[in-house]
Amino acid sequence: MDRLLDSINSPQDLRRLTREQLPQLAHEIRCLVLDVVSHNGGHLASSLGVVELTVALHYLHDFSRDRIVWDVGHQAYAHKILTGRRENFHTLRTLGGLSGFPNRFESPYDPFISGHAGASISTALGLLMAMDRKRDLSGAKPEVRPPRVVAVIGDASIASGMAFEALNHAGDSANRLMVVLNDNRMAIADTVGALSKHLNRIRTSTRYNELKRDVRHFIDSVPALGPRMEKAVERLKDLVRHSVVPGWLFEEFGFRYFGPVDGHNIGDLVDTFAGIENLNINQPVLVHVLTQKGRGYDEACLDPCKFHGLSPAAAADGKTSEETPVPDKPSYTKVFSRVVADLAWAKPELCAITAAMPDGTGLAEFQKSFPERLFDVGICEQHAVALAGGLASGGLRPVVAVYSTFLQRGYDQIFHDVCLQEVPVLFAVDRAGLVGSDGPTHHGVFDIAYLRHLPGMTLMAPADAREMEAMFRFAAELDGPCAVRYPRAAVPDTDISPEAPIELGKSAVAAEGTDGTLFAYGAMVVIALDARAILAKQGLAVKVIDARFAKPVDADTLARELDEAPFVLTIEEGAAAGGFGSAALEAMSARGADVRRLHVAGIPDRFIEHGPRGELLRRIGLDAEGIARHVLKLLDRAEPVRRT
């Protein structure tokens, strides 16, 4: 039997199928997603859960004219397959291949690059308003059916403050906006909070749908309604809506609510979307769709957290999630997990905060041991940081564990609610640096630059597990805000950090040498040492210094090295613009030092593509061979140094 999927090269091909063929197509898409993710890694459970929903949306809408925005975008694999990328789907998340997220530079069916939660309704509304404005400017006649913009958002993402801001705006100004609420009761972990409980009441309420049907039947049975009767019916409908709970919250925002709908019944989905178009509703609509994360793959259904995202190695054995980047080696996240639990036993005032990611950030074990001291705020990083500021002001010691790329979302709260207050909030900044196949939306390369200019902030980065533990113990005693950054990587096999104790703003020598100095920050220390070994084969002995701090930077050591060494090269897995190297240059300039022999190696001023972390580092010259080449070039043009 030929696969239906083999004939689908565009959404137009999809719409040539009969409705009876759609379930078979959904099955074939699901099989393709499973096959590719099993080899390449990727976001499995979320993509499997929306296959029928994706098929139904593309079957009813022409998204070359209409537009669709996927919140987060990690669930858009079926969308990619249906929009002309089926033949290249095997390249998903590989270097030079398809992105794991919607990408406006990859396909005209992706109007927006997605990667962070809560933004879809805002961007969809912006697209819709732009369409309307451009049509007005062109002087075109009004269309019988103007384009519709669809935002697909999960029950976890819709709880974010940004989503509610967009709902508030859209309810008053966006008649052709459709919000599809993909409700699977999951973020990466289980959804939390009052909105989650509200949606659960909707899911379980048969009373609402039965009563709505009865009222509709009564209205239809009345042959003619006068103005008074129509008003009475409208009041009755409002009473029904508010008294039995479902949907009223969204209707108060100005949306027409439909649902809940079985998200795996393509017939029901198609009927719902077609019915909405036929009704010609003069207000934005919200369609509440119930789905199962991991649908079609039993293991993913039983443990959707584990199968949320898989690395290629994890996908091969089905046993390890993306949080373990190298099999059989502990990651920095695992070390943090142990250290923060140890600190909690010793410090009763210590508590931890996560924004819907207790597993990914290593707080799952902490949650088991100290359930009353772990606060999961949902996908609400701004609230997480401000909450930490309040907890610290009240005398507790909050640890905010968050990925670097997501901490960006709480920048104003870091400034206003933590640093300005001078309170001791400890940020555990995970996934700092290049994160591999998730690509530019998830690379954590800006945290050094956006944190170090905030007064009172202390910035640290460990070179190995031993130093990581020492830094967190040191940070837990500081009086002000502090951030410890670490990569999505395995810790070095052996301790490479100097045994010198952690002192505020002090670096430590990891290896001696007189032919130049590598001043490396955090995870770059091991790469600097590897570069040193390469250079040693050419008769060169360079010094490697473990910087430890990006703020306060060790100005005394930098000044001494500039005075004595042929060159100093700072190395960081972060944006060179405004990062650790910039801090070194600023510190030396303030001292009046000659900075011509001070050079910076970091992430260049562009967004880095997706691909294996090691290969990405090689491409931008931040691997050991690249650093060694950089050193050789510096020595060729280094000015003579007077030695005293």
| 596 among known catalytic residues | no
Q: Which of 322, 381, 561, 573 is catalytic?
A: 381
* Cis preceding linkage at 260, omega within 30: yes
3-class state of residue 288 by DSSP: strand
Scan for tokens 């989503």, then name that residue: 163
- CA–CA distance, 219 with 227 (Å, rounded to integer): 14
Q: How many CA atoms lie within 13 A of 245 on its CB side?
A: 13
**Buried (b) or exposed (e) across 24-43, using 16+ Cβ within 10 A?**
ebbbbbbebbbebbbebbbb
Note the helical H segments in 305-429.
Answer: 312-317, 332-346, 364-369, 381-393, 404-407, 411-413
| 409 among known catalytic residues | yes
Length, in residues, of the chain: 644
Cα dihedral value 187, 119, 147, 255, nearest 10? 70
Quote the distance between the C-alpha of residue 644 and its chain's center. 52
- CA–CA distance, 608 with 98 (Å, rounded to integer): 14
**Buried (b) or exposed (e) across 249-279, using 16+ Cβ within 10 A?**
bbbebbbbbbbbbebbebeebbebbeebeee
- CA–CA distance, 573 with 602 (Å, rounded to integer): 6
Quote the distance between the C-alpha of residue 3 and its chain's center. 35
- Cβ 402 vs Cβ 361: under 8 Å: yes
Total H helices, total E strands in the chain: 26, 17
| Of residues 571, 578, 575, the one with CA closest to residue 606 | 575
| 293 among known catalytic residues | yes
C-alpha angle with apex 431: 196 to 482, nearest 5 degrees? 90
Other Cβ atoms less than 10 A from the Cβ of 394: the count is: 10
Query: From residue 476, how far is each of 203, 224, 358, 411, 542 by CA, in Å?
Result: 43, 73, 20, 21, 34
* Cis preceding linkage at 552, omega within 30: yes
Q: Which of 30, 176, 373, 409 is catalytic?
A: 409
Angle between helix 206-221 and helix 227-243 axes, rounded to 10 deg: 170
Largest interatomic CA distance in the chain:
106
Kindly give the pairing relationship between strand 458-460 and strand 67-70. unpaired
Which H, E and C letters describe 244-278, residue by residue? CCCCHHHHHCCCEEEEEEECCCHHHHHHHHHHHHH
Could you tell me the two tokens for 386?
């401000």
Long-range contacts of 318-323, Cβ-Cβ distance < 8 Å, separation of 24 or more: 318/38, 321/359, 322/41, 322/360, 323/359, 323/360, 323/362
Could you tell me the two tokens for 20?
């009876």
Q: Which of 293, 306, 452, 597 is catalytic?
A: 293
Scan for tokens 């772990």, then name that residue: 374
Active site residues: 293, 381, 409
